[in-house]
Every structure is written in C-alpha cells, then in structure tokens.
Structure 1
Amino acid sequence: METTLENHSIVVTGGGSGIGRAIARRLVNDGATVTICGRRADILEATAAELNSACSGPGRVLAIAVDVTDERAMGEAVARAAEAGNGVTGAVANAGGSGQMRLLHEISAADIASVLNLNVVGTFNLLKFTVPLMIERRGGSFVGISSGAAAQTSRYFGAYTAAKAAVDVLLRNAADEYGGRLVRFNSVRPGFTMSEKMASLVPADDPVRESYVVNTPLPGVGEMTDVANLVRFLLGPEARWITGEAIAVDGGNNMRTGPDISSMIPI
C-alpha cells in the first residue's frame, strides 16, 4: 500500500491561512498536488509561494481565488485544479465561519442565512464538482471541517452550530450514496485550536480559554497540526475502510462541555 500522497490531487478551500494552510502544508509535504481556494488572491498566492519554496519533494501548490458559495465559480476552480493535478482524488471543505456571536433573537435572518450559506452551501459546492472527478479516478476521499459545536450546545454561536451539524449530516449521507463508487466522506470536529485568529481573539490569560482547558481531559489546547494530521490520514489510503464518520480532535473536550464565551458577548 502506498504511504505517501504522490500522484494525489487535492482541493482545499479556505487554504490560505489558519487550519487550511496547515492542512495544505501537510499534504504538499507528503507529495500531493494541492489547490488552495479562498476569496483573497494575495493571501493565497503568498501561501502557495511559501509552501512551494519549503517543499523539497514532488508536491506543489496552486492558488485559485474563488468564493465557495458561488456555484459556477467553484465549478470553474475545480476544473482548473483537475487540469493541474491530472484529476482530483481528494477534497477538504475547510472554508467556514461563525458570523456574529450574539443571542439568537438579536441576529438577523440575513446573518443566519450567510452563515449557513458559507458553511453548508460552500461544502456542497465543493462536493458537487469534485465527486464526479473522484469517481473518474476510481475513488477518493472528501473531508469536511466541522466543529465540536456540531455536537455540543455552544451558546451565542448563532447558526454556526446548526451549520456544522448540517455539514456532518450532509457528508454522512454522501458516504452512503457514494460508497459503492469508492468515494469516502468524513468530517473532522476540531475543538479549541490555536490558529493565528484564535490567538488574537483569545489570548493565554483569557477566561474563555481557561473555561475550555478546565473542561478538557488532555492538558492545553489544540494545534493546527493536530487537525492537519487527522485530515491527512483520512485522505490517504491508510483510511480506506473509514467513511461516514465525524471525528473529534479536541483533547476529549466533547466528553464535557465547550468553552464559555459569555465574557465576549454584550448581554
């Protein structure tokens, strides 16, 4: 069994920064051709240049600026990725966001729709255009980046909990539909993960971080590489018998409760 991702072509949305960039780095270092997508061309191109410069193996990174909620544009982006990588063998739906963190009755319907559109429709658009290409390659793997909020109540997160739960169910249903065509679908539920954005929002002495740490069996908080390593496993041949799963990478926090963000909310 092959143990690298050489000859694999993988699309990663939200790949310019944070967890998406960590995933792209992990994949390209293991030999994959990786297409990173997102809205900011400057960030994507800088990330691609950085990763290509640091990679000494056969892997390479292509950057494509695209809005994942735009169905036609996503179709064009995936077609470009397939041309660059001789098809598509994997996809990572990482683009997402939580929108406003407020009491539900204080959030507009437009804000709710925006969160659902980014997380759920964005995931669907990537699935829609990559799955036929994986079938052409006689199999593949699709990984959605969900959240612990999909399974735990997370006060003040608005539609984010519903959106991530929908991502999990969408991919579980896809796993059932496409199993016979050798395409696997799984989602990953990160807990508190120390990305650049999280570090600025929740510094080390913040009560939100402390509320998470005390409710997590393993000490500390997650690193982006923890998520990237799990995604790499699910995309590779080592995970050939795993599909329809939502896997937490959160130090065991899912056994207790998520962070208390009350201090961040103007109630």
Structure 2
Amino acid sequence: MITGASSGIGAAAARLFAAQGAAVVLMARREERLRALAAELTASGARALAVPGDVASEADAAHAVKVAVTEFGGLDCAFNNAGYATAGTPLHETDAAVYERTMDVNVRGVWNCMRHQIPAMVSRGGGSIVNTSSVAGTRATGASAAYVAAKHAVIGLTRAAAAEYGERGVRVNALVVGSTRTEMMEQVLRTAPELEDRFAADAIQKRMAAPVEVARAAAWLCGDGSSFVTGAAVPVDGGATAT
C-alpha cells in the first residue's frame, strides 16, 4: 500500500515496487492520475489497483487496507508517503486552515493508515511500514512551523509504533527525506523561488534528490534486507543532517 501515489516519490515507489514483483494498492486524492498509473503498471504485467482517497479520512484509509487484504490476500508492506506542505510563512501569519490541513495530512494521515495497516499485518505474522518524514522532522529548515511540527510528529509516531509492535513482527521506520524534486516541491518553489538555492545548498551533495532515490530507500526498508531495522529515522537527505 502506497499513499501519495499519484506523483513524486509515491509514483516512483509504485513503479519500483511493482518492478520488484510487489502487488501494489495505490492511494491518492487525484483519481484520474492514480488510475492512469495503475493502468500503466497493469499494462507492464504488474498487479496494481487504484484506490482514490484522502489519508486524512480514516474511512478512506481503512478502505484502502481492506482492498489490499481482499484483493491480494493481505498486507505485507506500507509506504505512508502522502504529504502536504506550504512555503515558509511566519508562524503568526499562517492561517489556521493551513495548520489544520498540514497536520491532517502529514500526521493524522499516518495515524489513520497505521491504525488499520498494523492489525492487517499482525494477522499475517508481521510486516513493514515506512513513513515519510523530512529533514524538517529533525530541525527547523525554513519550511513552515506547522510542517516542521508535523514531520517531527511522524518520527514520534514511528518510534512509538515500532516499540509497541516489534515483538508482534511489525517493523516501523521513517525516512528523513531531504529536498526532493517533486511536484509539491515545485509548487513551494513557485511561491518562494529564493528557497531553491538554499535547499540544494543544505545537502552535502549540493543538489536535490530525484524521487526514485527516496523510493529505493523505502523499498529496502520494506524488504528482508532490513530485517533488523525498526524504530529508525533513516536519512535520505544527501547528508543534510550530517552537518
């Protein structure tokens, strides 16, 4: 199950996971794009289903998990990647609606998904969950205060869930993602173009990531190669958190 799958990191992950043989349930709000991606993957011989929905809705999250269990026999891995961000508006100028949407998608969305993914995995004897956090989940970055708070919360939820369900076979990890050239990033840069040089300079590699570079880290955390990794906040940030 991949959320935020209609573009960016989520779409890259869908293509990568499918190429590695996974059956994928794709969730996002943009139905037309989601169905086009599922059709693309199916045409290539993969097993893929589009389940349009908003992670901020628990009913939508529950439905996506149910589809995975019903159509593919169970849920082994989940990549909770859906996100929402705005430019770095000062805290006192940030609308309450922006704060609420930022928290709803980035925090409540992960909460909603895990509440239903975890029981499905426990019933199969285990599984792996990967949640998308950010460098903004470790320090202030120039992103909005609401986004910084939300991505810190994702790491907290990840660690708590890992501690609660580790002995029941469910691993839970977070990706500390650096600046990545996604559509969401392009929207932010259109609003605040002066941030582009800052984002690139933040990484030791002096560039932004391609979405597939983040997807590869998620695929590793979902696979057996990371079987002794849980409760971790794994940097995929070009070294931004190393300095």
Aligned to 1:28: 18
Instruction: State whether structure 2 residue 96 is matched by structure 1 residue 109.
Output: yes
Show CA shifts across 1:166-200 (max 9, x none): 01100101000000101000000111112244346
Q: What is the SS of the residue equivalent to 2:163?
A: helix
Out of 31, 37, 49, the position equivalent to 2:27 is: 37
Instruction: State whether structure 2 residue 213 is matched by structure 1 residue 229.
Output: no
TM-score (norm 1): 0.85
Aligned to 1:12: 2
Show CA shifts across 1:217-259 (max 9, x none): 2243211111010000000011110000011111101234xxx
CA RMSD of aligned residues (A): 1.7
Cα distance change, pair 25–249 in 1 and its aligned pair in 2 (3 A): same
CA drift of 1:17 comes to 0.9
Determine the C-alpha separation between the residues in 2 that align with 1:164 and 1:234.
19
Cα distance change, pair 200–166 in 1 and its aligned pair in 2 (3 A): closer
CA drift of 1:207 comes to 4.3
- Range moving further from structure 2, 92-101 or 17-26: 92-101
CA drift of 1:101 comes to 3.3
Cα distance change, pair 69–153 in 1 and its aligned pair in 2 (3 A): same
Determine the C-alpha separation between the residues in 2 that align with 1:40 and 1:156.
24
- Range moving further from structure 2, 66-75 or 20-29: 66-75
Where does structure 1 lack aligned partners over 5 or more consecutive residues?
1-10, 257-267
Determine the C-alpha separation between the residues in 2 that align with 1:210 and 1:46.
33
Q: Which amino acid aligns with 1:167?
A: V
How many pairs are equivalent? 241
Show CA shifts across 1:135-179 (max 9, x none): 111110000011110112123513000001101100101000000
Q: What is the SS of the residue equivalent to 1:187?
A: strand
CA drift of 1:96 comes to 1.2
Equivalence map 1:252-267=2 (5 Å)? 252-256=239-243
Instruction: State whether structure 2 residue 144 is matched by structure 1 residue 157.
Output: yes
Larger Rg, first or second structure (1 or 2): 1
Is residue 86–residue 188 contact of structure 2 (8 Å, CA) maintained in 1? no
Instruction: State whether structure 2 residue 134 is matched by structure 1 residue 137.
Output: no
Is residue 35–residue 64 contact of structure 1 (8 Å, CA) maintained in 2? yes
Is residue 15–residue 37 contact of structure 1 (8 Å, CA) maintained in 2? yes
Q: What is the SS of the residue equivalent to 1:146?
A: strand
Q: Which amino acid aligns with 1:128?
A: R
Q: Which amino acid aligns with 1:154?
A: T
- Range moving further from structure 2, 100-109 or 246-255: 100-109
Instruction: State whether structure 2 residue 237 is matched by structure 1 residue 247.
Output: no
Determine the C-alpha separation between the residues in 2 that align with 1:218 and 1:197.
21
Is residue 80–residue 132 contact of structure 2 (8 Å, CA) maintained in 1? yes
Out of 58, 62, 83, the position equivalent to 1:71 is: 58
Identical columns (%): 36
Q: Which amino acid aligns with 2:38?
A: A
Q: What is the SS of the residue equivalent to 1:83?
A: helix
Where does structure 2 lack aligned partners over 5 or more consecutive residues?
none
Aligned to 1:85: 72
Bigger share in helix: 2
Is residue 87–residue 188 contact of structure 2 (8 Å, CA) maintained in 1? no
Aligned to 2:198: 211
